[in-house]
Amino acid sequence: MFQTLYSYFWWERLWLPANLTWADLEDRDGRVYAKASDLYITLPLAFLFLVVRHLFET
């Protein structure tokens, strides 16, 4: 059941235009595409901005 949900969630027709596949979005030939792991830095940065804001407002 988990595999079925996983397959449906990552179904190319659900997320991508008709002429594009997940293989087209892999890094190659000097082109680097964004990855979900790039979002890991957002939480520490948000916390840092909150600290800086707090320092400037007090």
Provide the residue-wise pLDDT of the chain in tens; the chain has 58 residues. Answer: 999 999 989 898 999 999 999 898 899 889 999 888 999 999 999 999 999 999 999 8
Q: How far apart are the first and last CA of the chain?
A: 53
pLDDT of residue 45: 97
pLDDT of residue 25: 87
Assessment of whether the complete model's pTM goes beyond 0.75: no
Residue 43 CB neighbours (<10 A): 9
pLDDT of residue 43: 95
pLDDT of residue 36: 85
